[in-house]
Structure 1
Amino acid sequence: MPTSGRVPGRVAVVLAVLGLLLAACGGGGDPLGSSPPPPSDPDTIRVGSANFPENRLLAEIYATALSIRGVQVERRFGIGNRETYFPQVRDGAVDLVPDYTGNLLRYLDPNATATAPADVYAQVAQRLPPTLRVLQPSAAQDKDGVVVTRAFAAQNGVRSIADLARLCPTLTFGGPPEFATRPYGIPGLARTYGCTLRAFRALDSGGPLTVAALRQGTVQAADLFSTDPSLAMNDFVVLDDPRSNFAAQQVVPLINATKLAKPAVADVLDLISEKLDTATLTDLNRRVEGPDKPDPAQVARDWLSSAGIG
């Protein structure tokens, strides 16, 4: 390493580039950091999504259908979980996301107790900030569920979460990191069923890590979603929820109210909700996650065409 005041050429170039980035950012921030974009153009709808395949697909269905109806759209998919994307919708950095009524209600009001579809939807509408709206909910529900292997269920005589409670002190439970703290997650299982687990293992949101851990037995129970095609593929068992720890989870468009000035926007999103049910959503997930890994945009276009929307 030279000890003179001279900086080696490569280092000098890197420092110069960083200096330009800092100047462009006003000199005071992390040039490699990211922040939400400014609000979209008034004539554009910026469509966002959470960071799991089904939600991205639903966002693509919304974006494609709006484009077909002549609405200018921008895509901003894979933002993160609700704790990340909801503030962006609230603040106008994103205009539209597909959401799920029950989990959205618990996010807005952790003390909410509604579980029936109509009650959950009504309470969501009441608790949203005045700048936001939920449009017509679909019949499609993607509910969290406590899932075990069929062998585990048979061996332990387990059909419901209530049956599982006696085994909880011996179990490692897997799921997305946020399941550890969300009201319907580990706290909800303890409160509703007296299920105090031996351990929780943070994995992914209804993804391959959770499925693999359940298959391999590194977790004995897990949080997976009711529309996940891996349930049937692996012969997993979704345990009954007799005390309704998990509320109704209808797919619903969450949108900035200012973007509803054009009637075509609500019309096409309501039409999508009218056509979408749980079986259809499960099949769409199966297609997207199939071995050939088709382009989700093509899956979205194909379904919109078959539904008479595209």
Structure 2
Amino acid sequence: MVKRWSVSILALVASLAVVLTGCSGGNGVTSDPSASEYRTIRIGKGVSQETETIAYLYAGILRDAGYKTEVIDTPKNREEYVRTLNDGGDSSPDIVPDYSGNLLLDLTHGGKDNPQATATPTPSESDGTNPRASASATPTPTPTAAFNIHGMSSSDISATLPKVLPKGVTTLNASSAENKDALVVNRITAAKYKLSTIADLTGQCKNLTFGVPTGFPAKTYGAQGLKDLYGCTPKKFVEVDSQEDLSHKLAAGEVDVADIFTASGSIPENNYLILEDPKANFVAQQVTPIIRESDVPDSAKDAINSLSGKIGTSDLVFLDQLTSGDQPISSEDAASFWLRENKG
């Protein structure tokens, strides 16, 4: 059976009704006296349950700064929500949280569409030890040539994103919080096949069933990436819409390996083992605010940047634990609780 809640998490949920009654103000954000005169800032929920929770964090910190906010639905397709940001209008979002690596992959169609200037990988990413990193280390790339996102550091990805976004749409500061794809196994499977890295799967892949998010096999880091970098072609892929369902299938032995995001609370709760990715198949993913620049005032940008500086990966794990499992709370309530607990 999949473990869902620790005693501490249950205690936090039990206290929410009391906590949320006093959940305004603070968080070290300076209130802008002119903010109340500005129109309502709309924050899009983004592409996933996780980005929806981040959207409510943005809304809360902006209210602390004095702004009126509204969290709204947005297209689940990244190109579509970026288009709505660019178009503007009374029903368009002004800010949408997303993950940097997947956004760059989607906007460049897996790196096939090279921006006019591609960020040069940092020395640590281009030292020849990483086959994908070394492939991206061309000093002056041809603008029309494909480029290698997988070999880029998180800072390279952040620097490149504004170059592929439409004019007028840009990014604010990325958080250090990361939630990336990872291949995960239970401890029995790890011991049986002596697994610690994806490379250890090479001789066993043909016998193993991989549980993956819907659409994973077609991604650059999916079937082709695993084959090219690790010589790994699984017995079959089982595509699943929900990360929670993926964890259920792994725990029940319905799949042998699962692609579970690194900030999923199911990993520590079930003592799953994340297989290391020495050849960088999976791209870096930092939580990044995407904004329509002209419609977000400077003090609002400052508030979001301040929040981004506080959110770490452990916070994403905690928020996931609150919003998933057998007794989930809403993304809005989870965000309100986190903001109250992280004032100052």
Shorter-chain TM band: 0.7 to 0.9
What's the counterpart of residue 97 of structure 1? 96
Q: Deviations over 1:78-132 (max 9, x none)?
A: 7435355344334433322111111111112212334311111111122222121
Matched, 1:57 2:53: yes
Could you tell me which of 66, 70, 79 is aligned with 1:70?
66
Q: Could you say which residue in structure 1 is the equivalent of 2:228?
A: 191
Residue 161 in 1 paired to residue 198 in 2?
Answer: yes
Q: Work out whether 1:238 is the aligned partner of 2:274.
A: yes
Q: CA deviation at 1:159?
A: 0.9
Say if 2:170 is the partner of 1:174: no
Matched, 1:135 2:172: yes
Aligned equivalents of 1:234, 1:211: Cα separation in 2: 9
Cα RMSD (Å) of the superposition? 2.1
Aligned pair count?
266
Contact 1:52 1:78 (C-alpha < 8 Å) held by counterparts = no
Q: Deviation at 1:244? A: 0.9
Structure 2 match to 1:249: 285
Unaligned runs of 5+ in 2: 1-37, 112-147
How far off its partner does 1:190 sit?
2.0
> Where in structure 1 are there 5+ consecutive unaligned residues?
1-41
Mean Cα displacement is larger for which, 155-164 or 180-189? 180-189
Give the match's secondary structure for 2:220.
Answer: coil
Question: Deviation of residue 272 (structure 1)?
Answer: 0.8
Query: How many angstroms does 1:219 deviate by?
Result: 1.5
Q: What percentage of residue pairs aligned between the two structures are identical?
A: 35
Aligned partners of 1:227 and 1:137: how far apart in 2? 16
1:153 aligned counterpart, secondary structure: helix
- CA distance change for structure 1 residues 178 and 88 in 2, over 3 Å: closer, same or farther? farther
Structure 1 residues 258 and 185 mapped into 2: Cα distance closer, same or farther (>3 Å)? farther
Question: Alpha-carbon deviation of 1:153?
Answer: 0.9
Q: When the two structures are superposed, what TM-score results if normalisation uses the length of structure 1?
A: 0.79
Q: Greater Rg, structure 1 or structure 2?
A: 1
In the alignment, what sits opposite 1:115?
152
**Alignment check: 8 A CA contact 1:51 1:77 kept:** no
Contact 1:287 1:294 in 2 (8 A): yes
Offset of residue 154 of structure 1? 0.7
Query: Corresponding residue for 1:228?
Result: 264
Distance 1:164 1:78, change over 3 A: farther
Q: CA deviation at 1:290?
A: 5.4
Distance 2:221 2:93 in 1: 26
CA positional deviation for 1:241: 0.3
Give the counterpart letter for 2:174 in structure 1. P
Following the alignment from structure 2 to structure 1, what is the Cα–Cα distance between the partners of residues 211 and 83? 27
| Cα separation, partners in 2 of 1:78 and 1:94, compared to 1, 3 Å | closer
